Amino acid sequence: MQKLILVVAFLVPGVLFAQAPVSKLGSGSVEERLAQLERVMDARNAAQMALLDQMSTLQDEVAELRGRTEEHAYQLEQILQRQREIYQEIDRRLTATPAPSASVGTSSSSASSGADGSPSYSSNLSENDAYDKAIRLVMEDRRYDAAIPEFRSFIEQFPNSTYVPNAHYWLGQLLYAEGDYSGAKQEFSTVAERFPDSNKRADSLLKLGIVAQQQGEKALAESYFKKVIADYPGSTPADLAAKRLENL
């Protein structure tokens, strides 16, 4: 057959044989395949971006939930702490016994302390009234802003009162609640340093550690928490300090 074609071509030189249409067989299908591949890649990239967006959203939600959980845990700890303080204050009032009234009506502000180190009622009625007024603003009226100047006035008016350590402590609590960490630190430090026998010293040391933790002073916070545990083993403040140490 090939010989025949060659003969014909030789005999009829005007006859030309056209080239096979290879372009129709190749270029069009390759372009379609490339376009399809591009569409697949675009769809895959879009799916990956959507998945990354979903993961980022989930991570933000998890972080937000973790923050809320930590905030609720802290608020619960504060509530338990306040309840414990209320019970202590109620116990102080129930177990307090009036001191001898030999100096009633004088300006003396001395008083005896109870067996547990908490202050008993002073023989100076105006001193008792002033302290009870400040306490009522916290315990009953919950007027914390009004209680701050009352405690300050009490400390200034009765600097030698056995209620002074408690007044400093409550003042520190109120300032801490308002976010005045510097003022709170000063009040808690006064209790811890000037009144070593006060029943508020352990709580004050714990609060100093919490304030240091809030201010990012990790090493200082750790030292306060360890001091609470060392000085008051087995106490509630020591237990709270141990939990704080675990989370540092």
pTM of the predicted model over 0.85: no
Diameter of the chain by CA atoms? 153
Residue 59's pLDDT band (boundaries 50, 70, 90)?
Answer: confident
Mean per-residue pLDDT for 153-169?
93
The per-residue pLDDT for 18 is 42
Helix (H, G, I), strand (E, B) or coil at 16: coil
The pLDDT assigned to 243 comes to 92
Cα separation values, 155 from 21, 41, 187, Å? 107, 76, 11
Contact yes or no for 206/225 (Cβ under 8 A): yes
| Residue 170 neighbours by CB distance under 10 Å | 27
For residues 123 and 101, is the Cβ–Cβ distance under 8 A?
yes
pLDDT mean across residues, the chain: 75
Q: H-helix or E-strand containing 243?
A: helix 236-247
Task: Classify residue 103 as left (phi > 0), alpha (psi -120 to 50) or beta.
Answer: alpha
Question: What distance lies between CA 153 and its chain's CA centroid?
Answer: 32
Residue 90, class by beta-carbon neighbours within 10 Å (0-12 exposed, 13-18 middle, 19+ buried)? exposed
Q: Over range 221-241, report the average pLDDT.
A: 94
Residues 189-209: tens digit of each pLDDT: 999 999 999 999 999 999 999
Distances from the Cα of 6 to the Cα of 1, 10, 12, 19, 41, angstroms: 9, 6, 10, 16, 51
How many C-alpha atoms does 191 have within 13 Å on its Cβ side?
Answer: 27
Q: Is the pLDDT at 227 greater than 80, yes or no?
A: yes
Please compute the mean of the pLDDT values over residues 139-158 and round it to a whole number.
Answer: 88
Q: Give residues with Cβ within 8 angstroms of 209, minimum separation 6.
A: 220, 221, 222, 223, 224, 225, 228, 241, 244
